[in-house]
Amino acid sequence: MLFILQQYWWLIVSLLGSLLVFLMFVQGGQTLLFGTATKEEEKTLLVNALGHKWELTFTTLVTFGGAMFASFPLFYSTSFGGAYWLWMSILFLFVIQAVSYEYRSKAGNLLGHKTYETFLFLNGTFGTILLGVAVGTFFSGGSFVMDKSSIADTIRPTISYWTNGWHGLEAITVPFNLMMGIVVYLAARTLGLMYVMMQIDSDSLKGKCNSQIKVTGPAFVLGFVALLLVLFTMTGYHVNSENGLISPVKYKYFFNMTELIWPFIMLLTGVVLVLAGIGNTLFGKGKGSFYITGAGVVFAVWSLLICAAFNNTAYYVSTVDPQYSLTLLNSSSSEFTLKTMAYASLMIPFVFGYIIYVWRAMTRVKMSNEDLSKPDAHKY
């Protein structure tokens, strides 16, 4: 029963992770504030169109962290507690985003529009890349040591601790992590361009977005293909179900896809949807492209995160000693906790239903300058 609950909750947290990558379209849209939205009215339209959705990204990030804390607390304490400079950098970039949406149009703000727009651009660029780097550590691991017996140490009751002073920032220097960050950035920017074209009633802005997606869209596809090639040729770490011994296996993540089959089907579905969405934008009318591509991103990322831990795989490898690596078995909460949370998770479909209802209500009509000029209009 415990094994089933561990896999169930990994499915939940990996779904949250894939939804977070999709919702990064807000960050991708923010990168258009410089170089694309050149006029003041275009920037105001852009910020307000994205301002209706930015809370979803931040909330999903917090929910992902909370779900990991409740279901896999050892990962939470190891990654969030050990690699804290990486996570603090991400959190800082999201905090300045929240501040920017709150104060950009406030009368008499000290910093002015330009500063807050720069904050949003930094969040859109470096926030996506660093989050992708953090996702990459599910496969590349980190420099930590784990000793569960140390919880009884009254001086240092810490199960795991980092072995260098960089505390996560060294993950940026790992080529695979950086590649993951760039792909997440390209995905966010592609979806951001599609969202702007779908949601904003501005011929000039739509024309510029249409030109840029001809470069960003293919770059995202090529980057993702390159990422898959690197991932499928990487050495992963297999967990012996009998004695818990962790050993390296060449092409581990490719074997996970082919042995489990269903994540491979999810991946193929995601790739087809992404290609269909981008192709519809480039060669068709573009109707529904944002949702088609977004669904593809969710399926593709979800399948990769599933393969990071399923099929007896260590999902957070210690680069100091593989035997310290985290697995579903050694990092999860107790069976009682996971079972109690499983009952609570039955409310998730209702939450998703409410989000979809509100989303549709807020995106039913395209945003225009006339809407923002109304006396009762709320402007970010």
Q: Is the pLDDT of residue 107 over 90?
A: no
On the question of pLDDT at 111 being above 80, the answer is no
**pLDDT higher than threshold 80 for residue 375:** no
pLDDT single digits (tens) 233-286: 999 999 998 888 999 999 999 999 999 999 999 999 999 999 999 999 999 887
Over residues 6-22, the mean pLDDT reads 94
Is residue 75 one of the residues assigned to a domain?
A: yes
pLDDT of residue 157: 63
Across 50-59, 298-307, 314-323, the highest mean pLDDT is recorded for 298-307
Mean pLDDT of 80-100: 91
Per-residue pLDDT tens over the stretch 206-224: 889 999 999 999 999 999 9
Q: What is the pLDDT of residue 154?
A: 58
Determine, yes or no, domain membership for 217. Answer: yes
Contacts (Cβ under 8 Å, ≥6 apart) of 264: 257, 258, 303
Domain of residue 107, residue span: 2-234+340-372
Q: How far apart are CA 303 and CA 261, in angstroms?
A: 10
- Give residue 156's pLDDT band: very low, low, confident or very high (50, 70, 90): low
The SS3 call for residue 200 is strand
pLDDT at 120: 94
Residue 365 scores a pLDDT above 80 = no
Q: Is 282 a domain residue?
A: no
Q: Tell me, what's the pLDDT at 159?
A: 77
Per-residue DSSP letters for 282-319? HHS--TTHHHHHHHHHHHHHHHHHHHTTTTTB-SB-BS
In this model, does residue 152 exceed pLDDT 60? no
- 254 belongs to a structural domain: no
- pLDDT 10s digits, 116-135: 999 999 999 999 999 999 99
Number of domains in the chain: 1
pLDDT at 187 over 70: yes
Answer whether residue 175 is part of any domain. yes
In order of 33, 38, 129, 313, 380, the CA distances from 106 in angstroms are 19, 21, 29, 50, 8
Mean pLDDT over each residue of the chain, to the nearest integer: 89
In this predicted structure, the answer to whether residue 8 has a pLDDT above a threshold of 90 is yes
- In the structure, what pLDDT confidence band is assigned to residue 54 with cuts at 50, 70 and 90? confident
Report the alpha-carbon distance of residue 116 to residue 126 in Å, rounded.
15
**305/301 Cα distance (integer angstroms):** 6
Percent of the chain with pLDDT over 70: 94
Q: Is residue 259 a part of any domain in this protein?
A: no
Q: What's the whole-number mean pLDDT along residues 145-172? A: 77
Residue 309 lies in a domain: no
Task: Give the model's pLDDT for residue 364.
Answer: 74
280-291 burial code (b ≥16 CB/10 A, e <16): bbeeeebeebbb
Q: What is the pLDDT of residue 301?
A: 96
**Higher-confidence residue: 159 or 258?**
258
Q: Please measure the distance between the N-terminal and C-terminal CA atoms of the chain and give it in whole angstroms.
A: 49
| pLDDT tens profile 275-316 | 999 999 999 887 889 999 999 999 999 999 999 999 999 999
Q: Does a structural domain hold residue 224?
A: yes
Are 131 and 74 a contacting pair, CB within 8 Å? no
pLDDT of 140 higher than 90: yes
